[in-house]
Amino acid sequence: MNIINLSQKFDLFHEHWSPRIVGELNDSYVKLAKLKGEFVWHQHENEDELFLVVKGKLQIKLRDRDLWIDEGEFVIIPKGVEHCPVAEDEVQVLLLEPKSTLNTGDVQNERTVEAEWI
């Protein structure tokens, strides 16, 4: 068992949209990511995805509305729901998602990355 300090872990990387794994829970990873700008529209066919905003304010565009998640709040995007995260200023998020989850879901492009442990 290890105690994880989120601030220390966030200080270890600077890239945006490139999640880092900081823990493992059952069949899921606990990931940290820094977000800035607009991501890509995508969905995860088989995985729900939890976004917990640690610092900043995150917008998640849905096809029928926009969600605004403030520091200390989280939202769960159900599998199959198309979404597009947007961060006007840098946002730090904790993600809880199954190990099989790819950051770009059903889209493969230059932003598709495999999460690394830190």
The structural domains of the chain, with segments of one domain joined by +, span 6-117
For tokens 């905003």, what's the residue?
53
% of the chain with per-residue pLDDT over 70 = 99
pLDDT of residue 38: 95
Average pLDDT, the chain: 93
Between 115 and 69, whose confidence is greater? 69
Sequence-separated (6 or more) residues with CB below 8 Å from residue 84: 38, 39, 40, 41, 42, 60, 61
pLDDT of residue 116: 86
pLDDT in tens, 81-90: 999 999 999 9
For tokens 């939202």, what's the residue?
75
* Helix (H), strand (E) at residue 8: helix 6-10
Q: Give the DSSP letter of residue 17.
A: S
Q: Which CATH number fits domain 6-117: 3.40.50.300, 2.40.220.10, 3.40.50.1970, 2.60.120.10?
A: 2.60.120.10
Contact 62, 76 (CB under 8 A): no
pLDDT in tens, 13-49: 999 999 999 999 999 999 999 999 999 999 999 999 9
> What Rg, from alpha-carbon coordinates, does the chain have?
13
pLDDT of residue 118: 94
Please give the Cα distance from 36 to 30 (Å, whole number). Answer: 20
* Helix (H), strand (E) at residue 66: strand 66-69
pLDDT of residue 100: 84
